[in-house]
Structure 1
Amino acid sequence: MEQVEKAVAAAVYAADDAGLDLGASLIAAAPWPEAGREILRRGEEFVRRSWERGWQPADLVRIVRRDLDDRHVRLATDLIAAENRRYARMAPRWEAQLRELEATGPWWGSDERYADELAARERTDRFSLATTLLELFRLLIRLPAIEPVGPPPGENVHVHPHAPTPDEPRMLTRIRALLAKAEATDFPDEAEALTAKAQELMARHSIDAALLAAQGQTGDAPTACRIGVDAPYETAKAILLDAAASANRCRAVWNSGLNFSMVVGFEPDLEAVELLYTSLLVQGTAAMTRAEAAQRASGRKRTKAFRQAFLTAYASRVGQRLSETTQHVTEETDGSLLPVLAARDVAVEDRAERMFPQTTSTRVRGVNDHAGWEHGTAAADRARVHPRPGVTG
């Protein structure tokens, strides 16, 4: 449709914001059903280009949420759902992201009705909707190329023998349940025991997968996934994710500019890292909130410095605990399996080096609150993950 094409050319490809109002006016004045259909077509095109540049659905929504607002996020999810109609097959991790975003298919009727149904859902005028859409298009078209972590949907889709599926292995179901209980409890000792058992099961799950591979029952190889590392205190969060990755035989590489870490490892271990990082972040944030409340009650006001120091200390100490648990479980295995585990570690490191031949180390700055560091270390000790006798799943 010519008016939509002119609007996109004026607003999306312009070097400044001067064309945004013009583009929104052109779309608002166009015949609405036809404009809605054409907006979807152009939006699908921009989403498809982002897939070709290495982005995945969760990445796209995360960057839209960071740079724009909730309405843009909802519209981005619509465009992802519309584009998803093109593909008969896609990787399991991709499908899981679509389910999480509720973007497996369009919620509207025909594409001709999209604009009207969108206006009813958002309860706003056409000009405002058009402005939001053009702002979203402009962000999508300017996304940089990033390292792909799997084929785009519809291209060379291979279901990995260890890829997550809707029917998760019983071990992962148990791990997920243990971590959920650890997040929900108000008793530090209980959270400690539950998290300890979860990490022990993760380590055993990884060893079982290595054994199957050594016996030739699977043909797995290291792969990668992206995990969001959002502000605030993203440096401390990246350290926590790196700790969870290292303890589970993975390698994490943080992209501070785009707020995510790439985690390289074997598929069962990647699943463990995602579960563990999310749970530890929830537990750490809850512990920080409780400690901060006590500090405020005593008259302290340096909240930001306290939080930064708390989370950094928590991440550092938890990393030590996770590594201890993995080492403990590994030492209990048959010694003949140690070369297999070492070979898998080398394979992960080699894959990470090929994906990221140039990485730099980041110095942690701004950790200068002694009370925050002490409280964070204590919280990590309470959440320690070394297995204890008598703990059951």
Structure 2
Amino acid sequence: MSSSTTTTVERAFQAALYDDTDSGLDTGASLLAADPAADAELARRGEEFVAAAWRRGWQPADVVRIVRRELDDEHVRLAAELIRAQVPGDRPRGRRWTDQLAALPAAPARGADRFSHATAVLELYRLLLRLPVLEPLEEPSNARPHASGQAPARAGHQAASRMLTRIRALLAKAEATGYPDEAEALSAKAQELMARHSIDEALLAAQAPAPDAPGACRIGVESPYEQAKAVLLDAVATANHCRAVWNEPLGFSTIVGFEPDLEVVELLYTSLLVQATHAMTKAEAVQRAGGRKRTKTFRQSFLAAYAHRVGDRLAAAAETQVTQDLLPVLATREVAVTDRAERMFPETTTARLRGVSDAAGWTEGMQAADRAQVRARPRLE
């Protein structure tokens, strides 16, 4: 890399990244657009920004989510391209990380002129440079390594994967169908499988020589009505032996729990949101037909009531469906989850519902929550 191209990038960064004005951005983009030889160095610096984000506790899905929230689709595709390019220089990561890489959006089509492209790149770098430090989500080691250095395959892993595949398929069908009775039957079956999956994994871990340790993942809590969504996610997490901590400024909740329960929380939260959206759309259409126009307050109150009522139902189910023989296993795991969550988040606050002002929306949301499929886990025989 010649000193001239490095100088071009340095000058562009000095103008655009540390000035943070429109004129500085234009100056930096003009410098880069006029020097095609600097493209490789510009890309290398971008990979360094990505690696720095990993050191601050961010993961691929987190970066994509914040870029989508703050910038445009073009920036999202540029971020995905940088993340992919950085992979060969990265250390080995866990399964969730690999899944996030596989879900990255397609690479950008380079149809823009050099100035526009350089502007987008510098806007992205501005954001990456200012990412705050997050709590690290290192994936725990699930077993002692063999003498060969390879971790042994966990018993029942293939069966668990098949179970989760079935759960996803059932929920997808429940969300897609236009027939309430069919959706109810499919969702109920999915809930039974979720419960069985969680209990089987808990008992398996309790019998294993090297039990699993709690892990953590982040789930996006997107606007609008993010307060109600955060409360709903907290309720789902609590009912499935996890802890949820909401980061309102960055638009996500961190879920702490054992891996099988984390997967169930992701599936159930997504399904309940889809069910809520379908129910809200239908209720809203009825309200509009009756002449009302305050859609925003109706939706906010609807989702707040839905989250509140679903939380009550899930809490009641959690209290009544656990058998005596399972209590010691769950108690041990709850202590481990609480300890991990408190170490990650020494100071936390609880998401609370605010701004509920529409009586019709609240009533409709409560009724929709009563119809939502949150079947508790079956008793062990």
Aligned to 1:27: 32
Please say if 1:254 is aligned against 2:246: yes
Shift of the 165–70 alpha-carbon distance from structure 1 to 2, 3 Å rule, reads farther
* Cα distance in 2 between the residues matched to 1:147 and 1:323: 28
Shift of the 213–375 alpha-carbon distance from structure 1 to 2, 3 Å rule, reads same
Please say if 1:239 is aligned against 2:231: yes
Question: Cα deviation per residue 1:25-50 (whole Å; 9 max; x = unaligned)?
Answer: 000000x2x33212210110101100
TM-score computed with the length of structure 1 as normaliser? 0.86
Aligned to 2:62: 59
| Amino acid aligned to 1:26 | L
* Cα distance in 1 between the residues matched to 2:155 and 2:369: 31
* Cα distance in 1 between the residues matched to 2:160 and 2:326: 25
Aligned to 2:357: 368
Q: Is the 8 A contact 1:193 1:387 kept in 2?
A: no
Please say if 1:18 is aligned against 2:7: no
Query: Out of 146, 155, 176, which is 2:134 matched to?
Result: 146
The DSSP-based 3-state class of the residue aligned with 1:172 is: helix
Query: Out of 67, 70, 73, which is 1:70 matched to?
Result: 73
Aligned to 1:137: 125
Question: Cα deviation per residue 1:299-349 (whole Å; 9 max; x = unaligned)?
Answer: 111100000111111112222333444445423xxx333111111112111
Q: Is the 8 A contact 1:193 1:388 kept in 2?
A: no
Aligned to 2:283: 291
Larger RCO, structures 1/2 (Cα 8 Å, 6+ apart): 1
* Cα distance in 1 between the residues matched to 2:150 and 2:217: 15
* Cα distance in 1 between the residues matched to 2:155 and 2:361: 39
Aligned to 1:42: 45
Shift of the 147–207 alpha-carbon distance from structure 1 to 2, 3 Å rule, reads same
* Structure 1 portions without partners, runs of 5+: 108-117
Query: Out of 363, 367, 372, which is 1:378 matched to?
Result: 367
* Cα distance in 2 between the residues matched to 1:218 and 1:324: 32
Q: Is the 8 A contact 1:310 1:375 kept in 2?
A: yes
Shift of the 168–9 alpha-carbon distance from structure 1 to 2, 3 Å rule, reads farther
* Cα distance in 1 between the residues matched to 2:187 and 2:223: 25
Q: Is the 8 A contact 1:8 1:23 kept in 2?
A: yes
Shift of 1:85: 2.2
Aligned to 2:299: 307
Shift of the 338–363 alpha-carbon distance from structure 1 to 2, 3 Å rule, reads closer
Aligned to 2:145: none
Shift of 1:353: 1.1
Please say if 1:124 is aligned against 2:112: yes
Shift of 1:18: 3.1
- Paired residues for 1:323-342 under 5 Å: 323-327=315-319, 329-331=321-323, 335-342=324-331
- Paired residues for 1:81-120 under 5 Å: 81-87=84-90, 89-102=92-105
* Cα distance in 2 between the residues matched to 1:240 and 1:195: 17
Aligned to 1:112: none
* Cα distance in 1 between the residues matched to 2:80 and 2:155: 24
Q: Is the 8 A contact 2:218 2:255 kept in 1?
A: yes
Shift of 1:377: 1.2
Q: Is the 8 A contact 2:242 2:255 kept in 1?
A: yes
* Cα distance in 2 between the residues matched to 1:345 and 1:158: 29
Query: Out of 186, 196, 203, which is 1:194 matched to?
Result: 186
* Cα distance in 1 between the residues matched to 2:60 and 2:103: 10
Q: Is the 8 A contact 1:252 1:261 kept in 2?
A: yes
Question: Cα deviation per residue 1:124-169 (whole Å; 9 max; x = unaligned)?
Answer: 21111101100100000001001011169xxxx9979779999962
Divergent runs of 4+, >6 A:
157-167
The DSSP-based 3-state class of the residue aligned with 1:6 is: helix
* Structure 2 portions without partners, runs of 5+: 141-148
More deviation, 2-11/251-260:
2-11
* Cα distance in 1 between the residues matched to 2:16 and 2:150: 39
Shift of the 160–53 alpha-carbon distance from structure 1 to 2, 3 Å rule, reads farther
Aligned to 1:114: none
* Cα distance in 1 between the residues matched to 2:21 and 2:73: 23
* Cα distance in 1 between the residues matched to 2:12 and 2:276: 47
* Cα distance in 2 between the residues matched to 1:24 and 1:208: 56
